[in-house]
Amino acid sequence: MATALSPWRRTIGALEPFRQEMEDLFERFFGEEGGNGASARTWTPRVDVKETDKEIVVKADLPGVDVKDIDITVVGGVLTLRGEKREEKEEKKENYYRSERFVGRFYRELPLPPGVDPDKVFAASSKGVVTITIPKKPEAQPKKIAVKPQD
């Protein structure tokens, strides 16, 4: 019976989702060690997805990411965003010098519904937000049917 009271026993049940969320939070915050002793952090950009009759619009928050470091692809009905954020801060004062570097990779996959046109995808960036517009094929767009009165 001593094992049932062990504080090191892995939690099961109601606390398991909380434990997993905390592990994910720490992994996103602290990242993982990359090669050559450099810190390479991986993060997932936040996205908003909106669907209209004619298109799907995805807005991804990528503050501080240069557009040349963003790779957007549509393959097999999946929209993929990946890239890398590089940041350098340097501060020089009379008594000290401080330099910091950050490199963080990001990756996000979004499944797309059938009927989109992957050949006409358009992406634009403004103020740290990348907007991706994926038009629907004409045959996938809803058709309005007029109702005629009968006398």
Structural domain tally of the chain? 1
- The two tokens of residue 139 are 């045959």
The answer to whether residue 23 sits within a structural domain is no
pTM confidence score: 0.63
The answer to whether residue 112 sits within a structural domain is yes
Spatial separation of the C-alpha atoms in residues 24 and 28, rounded to whole Å? 6
Q: Which residues pair with 41 in a beta bridge?
A: 104
Better-scored residue on pLDDT, 63 or 35: 63
Residue 10's pLDDT band (boundaries 50, 70, 90)? low
The answer to whether residue 69 sits within a structural domain is yes
The answer to whether residue 56 sits within a structural domain is yes
- The two tokens of residue 127 are 């103020």
Q: What is the CATH number of the domain that holds 74?
A: 2.60.40.790
Q: Measuring CA to CA, which residue among 86, 94, 81, 73 is closest to residue 129? A: 81
Spatial separation of the C-alpha atoms in residues 138 and 50, rounded to whole Å? 18
25-39: average pLDDT: 53
Owning domain of residue 71: 39-140
The answer to whether residue 94 sits within a structural domain is yes
Q: Are 119 and 98 in contact (CB under 8 A)?
A: no
Spatial separation of the C-alpha atoms in residues 84 and 34, rounded to whole Å? 13
Residue 59's pLDDT band (boundaries 50, 70, 90)? very high
Spatial separation of the C-alpha atoms in residues 136 and 71, rounded to whole Å? 22
Q: Are 24 and 18 in contact (CB under 8 A)?
A: no
Spatial separation of the C-alpha atoms in residues 127 and 63, rounded to whole Å? 7
